[in-house]
Chains A and B, each alone.
Chain A
Amino acid sequence: MKYKIVNLLRDIFPFFITLFLWRLSTPYLNPSGILAIIPIFYYSFIRPTPYFTGYALLFCFLLDYKFNTVLTWTIFYSIYYVVMNIQTMLDLTHTNKNGLYAFLLFAGSVIFFIMLTHVGWTSIFMSFLMFITLSVCYIPITHIAKAVNHD
């Protein structure tokens, strides 16, 4: 019974952490719940989890809703998902640092695209800050995920 509960908690953790980070949005540190993109990326590409793709799409959509960026995160996520699953050259499930560089490429390209829609000093600064925040938080969050999943 005890193990069943533990396994259940382990199974729902990816869904839980995504919602948790999305809900705890706060300007500057977690604008519009952007940190939720870390578990979305990790559980979609680095450690694929059953039934997570639909959930990830939904939360990309919710990120877009809060950001007021019409389907940008959703479309970029879809593109990455399709590209990563079609190609056979790169295997992100076996990369160093939990796929940090792949994540930075993904997040960086979306943030850069959003920044390009309105170029200004504030926009550049805020985009840079968001990128730094994501870069710094990626390793701790994925380490927690790894610890929970006993990887």
Chain B
Amino acid sequence: MSPKKTSSRLHTLIKTAFVAVLLPIFFVYIVVAKPDYNIMNGLSHIVFPIAHGVGNVITWPIRATGRFITNIHNISKLEQENEELRTRLYEALANKNECEVAIIENQKLAHELDVVRETNYQSVVADVIYNNSATHHGTFIINRGTNDGISRGMVVVSFDNTMAGIIIDAGYDFARVRSLIDSDTNIAVRVAGSEVYGFLRGNGSSTATLGFLSDHKFQVSPNIKLVTSNISGVLPPDIYVGQTKNETDVEVQTPGHLSRVIVLKFNAQGKYK
């Protein structure tokens, strides 16, 4: 065996030994660091922006071409979309007066019942840069992070004010959001207009699953609207989540339909900032 071959084999063995040492470290880390994985997330806060930045440069021609094709496709649909939007605008205007009256009535009742609800919250608009839907996971990454005051646990809503997910990790200029369809999602919800509570669980499909209702006699029918509940003190209350499709399935926002979102800033007690 030549010295060069021996040296190469030795080099491979050293590398293998190094990787072999990493394995028990990984296993111990997974057991110990659960559920926050601070070191792992901290490392990704350094590595991810670099990879993303360099990746942006080298994939620019492909992405620019893709955007161009999408824009051409969108232009062809504009006229039809305009018609639809006009119809929706007229419908919205028709409901406006009714809503204004309801808001005033609600304020009056809240004042009479001495309910103080702080709704003057701050929000941050962010673009979705990655849709990571894969197998039963449904996370997405937005282009705003701790630099804009975003932190773990904040709620992300779409522009029609429907809940889209929860921030699970925030880097300097990006944040990872777990959508409602992710299998790790399990949030407390309330049936709008009642005191029936339940839990909404993601399963990787385009709908989430409603279960564990507080009132067993309550019959779930289609088109029942659900809002968030602060029953566990994790989420702020009364954010629209979605509506039921049948007894268990709930139509919710999916990452595929989101290009721009709003992050609501609130603290751990569930009060908006």
Contacts and interface: CB of A to CB of B under 8 A. Distances in A.
A and B form one complex: yes
Interface of A: 16, 19-20, 22-27, 31-32, 34, 53, 57-59, 61-62, 65-71, 74-75, 78-79, 81-82, 85-86, 111, 114-115, 117-118, 120-123, 126-127, 130
A79 B22 CA distance: 10
Interface stretch (B82-90, B177-185, B190-198, B213-221): B177-185
Nearest to B205: A122
Interface string B54-67: 11101100110000
A20 B204 contact: no
A127 B135 CA distance: 5
8 contacts: A62-B48, A62-B51, A68-B168, A71-B26, A82-B19, A86-B16, A121-B205, A123-B204
Contact of A65 (B13, B48, B63, B255): B48
B112 to A, nearest CB: 46
A25 B130 contact: yes
**Overall SS of chain B's interface:** helix
Interface in B1-40: 12-13, 15-16, 19-20, 22-23, 26-27, 29-30, 37, 40
Q: How large is the interface on B (under 10, 10 to 19, 20 to 34, 35 or more residues)?
A: 35 or more
Contacts of A82: 16, 19-20, 23
B265 interface: no
A122 B19 contact: no
Given A68-B132, A68-B182, A118-B183, A53 B19 contact: yes
Contacts of B203: 118, 120, 122-123
Contact of A31 (B134, B141, B176, B184): B134
Contacts of A24: 59, 62-63
A127 to B, nearest CB: 5
A44 to B, nearest CB: 10
**Overall SS of chain A's interface:** helix
Given A25-B132, A65-B176, A122-B136, 5 more contacts: A32-B134, A71-B40, A114-B135, A118-B136, A121-B205
Contact of B51 (A23, A118, A122, A130): A23
Please name the 3 residue pairs, one residue from A and one from B, whose CB atoms are nearest each other, closest first: A23-B55, A31-B134, A85-B16
Nearest to B138: A68
Nearest to B34: A70
B47 A62 contact: yes
Q: Most chain-B CB neighbours within 10 Å: which of A16, A34, A117, A118?
A: A118
B222 interface: no
A81 B16 contact: yes
A71 B43 CA distance: 12
A81 B131 CA distance: 30
B40 to A, nearest CB: 7
Contacts of A19: 51, 54-55, 58
B133 interface: yes
Interface string B99-139: 00000000000000000000000000000001111111101
Nearest to A16: B58
B136 A61 contact: no
B52 interface: yes
Contacts of A57: 19, 22
Nearest to B62: A24
B233 interface: no
B97 to A, nearest CB: 41
A58 B54 CA distance: 14
A96 B165 CA distance: 46
A65 B135 CA distance: 14
A27 B133 contact: yes
Contact of A78 (B19, B47, B131, B136): B19
B79 to A, nearest CB: 28
A44 B130 CA distance: 27
Contacts of B58: 16, 19-20, 23
B55 A78 contact: no
